Chains A and B, each alone.
Chain A
Amino acid sequence: MKIQNKVGRTLYAVAAFLLVVTGISSGFIGHASANQVTARSITISNSNGGTNNVAYTLAFTTATTSNVGGIVVDFCSNDPIIGDSCTAPAGFDVNKSTTTIGTQVGITGNSIDTTNSTANKLILTRTASSISTGTAVSIPLGDGSTTGFHNPTAIGSYFARIYTYATTAAAQGHSTNSPSGYVDYGGIALSTAAVINITAKVQETLSFCVYKTACGDDPSFTLGHAVGTATVIDSTAVDTQPANFSISTNANGGVVVRMKGDTLKSGSNTIAAAGSSAATITAGTAAFGARVSTSGTNITPTAPYNNGSGTQYGLDITTSNTPNTNVTSTYGGQIATLSGPTTASVSTVTFAATASATTPAGTYTAAEQLIATGTF
Chain B
Amino acid sequence: MGCFSRNIISKTALYSLMAASFVGMGPFSLAHIWADQIAPRSLTLSDSLGAQHGVTYKVAMGIPTTATVGSVRVQFCSNTSLTDDPCVAPVGFDDSGAVLSTQTGAAGFSISNNSTANELILSRPPIVQAPVIATYTFDNITNPTDGGSYYARVYTYASSDGSGASTDDGGLAFAINPSLSVSAEVPPYLTFCVGESITGLDCTSATEPFSDLGDLTPTTTSAAQSQLLVATNAGNGYSMYVLGNTMTSGNHTLTAMNGNTAQKGTSQFGLNLRANTVPAVGQDTSGPGFAAVTSGYSQPDHFRFLSGDSLASSPSADDYRKYTVSYVIDVAANQPGGVYSTTLTYVCLANF
Contacts and interface: CB of A to CB of B under 8 A. Distances in A.
Contact of B45 (A234, A261, A331): A331
A18 to B, nearest CB: 65
A227 to B, nearest CB: 7
Contacts of B231: 357-358
Measured as residues with beta carbon below 8 angstroms from the partner, the interface class of chain A is 35 or more
Contacts of A243: 180
Interface residues of B, number: 51
A102 interface: no
Given A223-B183, A253-B40, A372 B172 contact: no
Interface stretch (A87-95, A169-177, A183-191, A203-211): A203-211
A375 interface: yes
B185 A363 contact: yes
A271 B49 CA distance: 24
Contacts of A331: 44-46, 56, 58
A201 interface: yes
Interface string A285-328: 00010000000000000000000000000000000000000000
Secondary structure type dominating chain A contacts: strand
A351 B182 contact: yes
B170 interface: yes
A201 B82 contact: yes
Contact of A358 (B170, B172, B233): B233
B319 to A, nearest CB: 4
B177 A210 contact: yes
A113 interface: no
B56 A222 contact: no
Nearest to B85: A201
A356 interface: yes
Given A204-B171, A359-B233, A360-B233, A231 B185 contact: yes
Interface string A211-240: 000000011111110010011111000010
Given A210-B180, A253-B40, A356-B319, A369 B47 contact: yes
Contact of A353 (B82, B184, B316): B184
A357 B47 CA distance: 35
A359 B185 CA distance: 11
Given A204-B151, A260-B46, A376 B39 contact: yes
A241 B182 contact: yes
B172 A374 contact: yes
Contacts of B185: 222, 224, 230-233, 362-364
B58 A361 contact: no
Interface in B178-221: 178-189
Interface of A: 201, 203-210, 218-224, 227, 230-234, 239, 241, 243, 249, 251, 253, 256, 260-261, 264, 266, 269, 271, 288, 330-332, 351, 353, 355-376
